[in-house]
Amino acid sequence: MTTNLSTAAQQVSHFNEGTYSGIQCSWFREMLITLEGQGTTFLDLSLEARHSWPNGIFHNSRYLQLVIRDGAVQCIAKSYKLPTFRKSKASTPEQVIQVVNRYLDRVAELEA
């Protein structure tokens, strides 16, 4: 099976126009991967600014990696310093932003 990389790059850059820009964290990246016509969104979030990551490595920060698929938001990886992110239902980007910001507010409360 051949892949048209230029089309895939256009889809990712089009999706990265700020769909999830309402998330209240210091750094985030969103990616859309389409396999067999079904899109899956990946979000990488860090609670620390990029310049403050130990050794400049994302996984050394307080990070969270989420996958958005089939109306659900699920954590696939996180820093051991963060509490558990429970799988949540969210069918629109606004609902995803609300779910993630609610989690980040809970983290901030626990750290205070």
Query: Mean pLDDT over residues 84-105, rounded?
Result: 93
Q: Which position has the higher pLDDT, 38 or 78?
A: 78
Q: pTM of this prediction?
A: 0.79
Token pair, residue 86, equals: 């429970």
**Which helix (H) or strand (E) covers residue 10, if one does?**
helix 5-15
How does the average pLDDT of the chain come out, rounded? 84
Read off the pLDDT band of 102 (50, 70, 90). Answer: very high
pLDDT confidence of residue 5: 46
Give the three-state DSSP class for 33: strand
Is-contact 29 19, C-beta < 8 A?
no
Token pair, residue 49, equals: 């600014």
CB atoms within 10 A of CB 96: 24
The pLDDT tens digits for 54-91 are 999 999 999 999 999 888 999 999 999 999 999 999 98
Domain boundaries, the chain: 5-111
